[in-house]
Structure 1
Amino acid sequence: MSQNNAIYKGFKVSAKVRQAPDAFPGGDVVHPRFLATVTITQVSTGMGSQRLLPPEIQQFADAPHAAITLALTSAREAIDGMSTFVKAK
């Protein structure tokens, strides 16, 4: 198992990769594939606001580094898609 951690815009993005099952339920054998799972944790609360974080993000690829790259890219896109607007009082 491999793990990759990064801080992106005040969020900790942690990716873990493992080898995925190598057969479909019907019994067809496929090339070895890897599953990367990413979790997002808020490390900076900025002006005290907590953000609703997306659930775990998963991506499959034929190589471990490719799976991590896809998963981290998906996590960054999810963070970029969160509203960062803070209404002034």
Structure 2
Amino acid sequence: MHQNNLIYKGYRLTARVSRGAGAEVQALSSGPIFIASITVVQAGAVQDGGDEYPVPRFAEGGYVYSPREAVHAAILHGREIVDGLTSVPS
């Protein structure tokens, strides 16, 4: 099973995977398709639910064929978000 949580530079990244079906994504006959979003919160903020961000790949109508690929894409995007947050000059 692929881990859908990661601590990166003091932030907890949580991928939320769902089946891509409905009006915006057409399921193909080859099997189910998946999309994901990413939630970013400071690792020490136990009570905070964090901020959820769409993954550009999926927001633009893309999809993948396994939950593992969806988690991977979401976590990569979450790392980019954190890198943007932590590179702000003080």
Runs (4 or more) in structure 1 with deviation over 3 Å come to: none
> Identical aligned pairs, as a percentage?
29
Q: Helix, strand or coil for the counterpart of 1:62?
A: coil
- Kept in 1: contact 2:16–2:71 (CA 8 A): yes
- Shift in Å at residue 54 of structure 1? 6.2
| Cα shift readout 1:11-56 (whole Å, capped 9, x = no counterpart) | 01011212121x556xx652521112210001359xxxxxxx8642
Unaligned 5+ segments in structure 2 are: none
Question: CA separation in 2, counterparts of 1:29 and 1:67?
Answer: 15
1:72 aligned onto 2:75: yes
> Which structure features the higher share of helix residues?
2
> Which structure features the higher share of strand residues?
1
1:19 aligned onto 2:22: no
Give the TM-score normalised by structure 2. 0.64
Highest RCO, 1 vs 2 (Cα 8 Å, sep ≥ 6): 2
Q: Helix, strand or coil for the counterpart of 2:17?
A: strand
- Shift in Å at residue 57 of structure 1? 2.7
Aligned residues: 75
| RMSD across aligned positions (CA) | 2.8
The structure with the largest alpha-carbon Rg is 1
Give the TM-score normalised by structure 1. 0.64
- Kept in 1: contact 2:37–2:52 (CA 8 A): no
Unaligned 5+ segments in structure 1 are: 46-52
Question: CA separation in 2, counterparts of 1:14 and 1:74?
Answer: 11
Q: Which residue identity lines up with residue 5 of structure 1 in the other structure?
A: N
Q: Which residue identity lines up with residue 82 of structure 2 in the other structure?
A: I
Aligned to 1:57: 54
